[in-house]
Structure 1
Amino acid sequence: MIHTKETNDNTGSTAENPKAFIRNDQYNFIKDQAKILVAGQASVNDAEVLNVLRHLAHEKVYKLFPSLTEEQKKILNPLVQVKELGEAEAFLEKLQPYIIPFKTVSAPGLKKLFPKAKKFKGPKLETINFNRTSYLAWTESSNLMYLVAEEDDQLIGIQGSFTRSGKQGICTICNRHSEVGMFIAKTKSSGQDQFIKRGNYICQDTAACNDHVKKLDKLHEFIGRLKK
C-alpha cells in the first residue's frame, strides 16, 4: 500500500494556489498508476514489458490534462522513473502542493444549500481533508444524508436518506467494491405535487470513497439522475 503525507486544510481553500492543477480524482488516478508500476517492477523481469508499462502510465496521465505547461510536465514526468514503493511515495508526496482543494465551504454557506432542512447541523469541517475531497457527504439523525458537490464552478446540495445495506457492492460514485448503502433523494415531479424517488448504492465510508474516485463522470451522472 502506498502511503503519503496529505495536508489537511480544515476550512477548505482559503486562498487559491496558482500552481495547483491536479484534482483529487486525477491524483487518485496517478496514484493508481504508480501502484501499477511498483507491482510491475516486482513481478516482471522483461525490460521491454516494463518499458511498455511506463509508457502507458505516462500516456494515461498526460491524457488527464488537455493543456499541460512545461513546468507541470516536469512535475508529472518522474512517475515513469518509479520502481519501488519508496520512490512512489516520494513522488506522490511532491504532488501534494499541486492538488486543487475542494471549493471553499463554511457552516453558514452549507446551510444555505439546504434552506428547507430542519435542525441542520452540517459536517465537522475540521476533520475533512479538502485536498482529498471530490464531494462532501455526511449523515445526520438516523438516516438523513446530505451530499454536496461542485457543478459549473458552483456548489450544489442534495438531501436524501441513506440506508446501510450490510453487504458489499459496487459504489455508484467511485466504482469500487466496498460496503455500500442506498442513497435516495426525492424530487418533485414537473407540474405535479407528487415526488419521485431516485437513488443508488454508494460507499458507506465517504472519506474512503473520495480516496478512490478516479473520474468525476460517475459522480456527475449520479447527481444528474438525482436532480431529474
Structure 2
Amino acid sequence: MIHVKETDHNSDSTADNLKAFIRNDQYNFIKDQTKILVAGQASTNDAEVLNVLRHLAHEKVYKLFPSLTEQQKKILQPLVQVKELGDAETFLEQLQPYIIPFNAVSDQGLKKLFPKAKKLKGPKLENINLGRTSYLAWTESSNLMYLVAHENDGLIGVQGSFTRSGKQGICTLCNRHSEVGMFIAKTKSSGQDQFIKRGNYICQDSAACNDNVKTLDRLNEFIGQFQK
C-alpha cells in the first residue's frame, strides 16, 4: 500500500477549480435520482406523489454537498423539473462541466505508487474518461491487477492478483450485480514480517463499475483493508 501526494491537473485556472464540484460517484447518484423521477412520472399522474418524489430527490442530492454555494444550488436546481427522459438527459449534460476529473497520474507517480513493479506499463489513460472515474484499475500480465484511488490530498495504490470468476455476483465497490472476479492482495499482519491475504469480488469491467459507483464508502473500505 503506497501513498503519493497528488498534483492537480484538473484545471487551468482558479475559476475552473471553483466550478468543478461534483465527484463521479455523486454524479452517478444524481443520475439515479433522475431515473426515479422519470419512472415516477411514467407510472402515476398523482401530483402529490410526484411532488414527494421531487422533494426527496432534491433533499437526497443536496445532502451530498454539505456546503453548497448559491451558484452550485442553481446548477442542481433543475433536477426537480425532470419529468421525461429528455429532461434528464439535458440536465445531466449540463452537469458535465462541473464534474471533477480523476487526476491523471504520471509515469513517475506510478513508479512511486508501485516501486516494486519494475516493468509497470500503467493504464491506457487515452481510453479512460477521467471525468467518470472514481478509481483506476488495470491488469498487466495474466492476472496482476493495480488499483489507484484518491486518499485525502494524494493517491493510494494497491497491487494484487485478479482471478475472473466466470459468474455473476455483487461487486464490493459499486454494489451492483455484474460479472465479477476475485481481487486479492497481501497486507501486513500484527507481526512485523508476517503477511496475510485479503480481498473480495469486484467488477471485471472497471469502466462499468465506475459508472455505477454512487458512494465512495465501499471503495474506501475496500482500499482500507489493505492498510491494516
Question: TM exceeds 0.5?
Answer: yes
CA deviation after TM superposition for structure 1 residue 105, in Å: 1.4
Distance 1:103 1:165, change over 3 A: same
Matched ranges for 1:1-228 at <5 A: 13-15=10-12, 17=16, 18-228=18-228
Deviation per CA, 1:30-64, whole angstroms, max 9, x where unpaired? 00000110111111121110111000000000000
* Equivalence for 1:7: none
Task: Provide runs of 4+ in structure 1 moved above 4 Å.
Answer: none
> What's the C-alpha RMSD, in Å, of the aligned pairs?
1.4
Question: Do 1:24 and 1:100's aligned partners in 2 also have CA atoms closer than 8 Å?
Answer: yes
Contact 1:148-1:157 within 8 A present in 2 as well: yes
Letter in 2 for 1:13: N
Q: Is 1:185–1:197's contact at 8 Å kept on the other side of the alignment?
A: yes
Q: Is the 8 A contact 2:104 2:125 kept in 1?
A: no
Between the aligned partners of 1:156 and 1:132, the Cα distance in structure 2 is 18
Aligned residue identity for 1:60: K
Q: Where do 5+ consecutive residues of structure 2 fail to align?
A: 1-8
Amino acid at match of 1:111: K
Instruction: Give the match's secondary structure for 2:214.
Output: coil
- Structure 2 residue identity aligned to 1:84: E
> Percent of aligned pairs with the same residue?
84
Counterpart Cα distance in 1 of 2:66 and 2:118: 43
Describe the superposition over 1:81-130 as per-residue Cα deviations: whole angstroms up to 9, x where unpaired.
Answer: 00001110000000000001112411221122000113211111111111
User: What runs of 5+ residues in structure 1 fail to find an aligned partner?
Assistant: 1-11
Contact 1:101 1:133 in 2 (8 A): yes
1:200 and 1:91 mapped to 2: Cα distance?
A: 36
Shift of 1:153: 1.5
Q: Secondary structure at the match of 2:67?
A: coil
* Distance of 2:78 and 2:151 partners within structure 1: 32
Question: Which amino acid is 1:63 matched to?
Answer: K
SS at match of 2:147: strand
Which moved further from structure 2: 80-89 or 189-198? 189-198
Contact conserved, 1:14 with 1:104, CA < 8 A, in 2? no
Partners of 1:97 and 1:196 lie apart in 2 by 43
Q: Please, what TM-score do these two structures have when normalized by structure 1?
A: 0.92
- Partners of 2:213 and 2:92 in 1: how far apart? 16
Q: Secondary structure of the residue that 2:56 maps to in structure 1?
A: helix
Matched residue pairs, number?
Answer: 218
Q: In 2, are the aligned partners of 1:113 and 1:156 still within 8 Å (CA)?
A: yes
TM-score, length-normalised on structure 2?
0.92
**2:5 counterpart residue number:** none
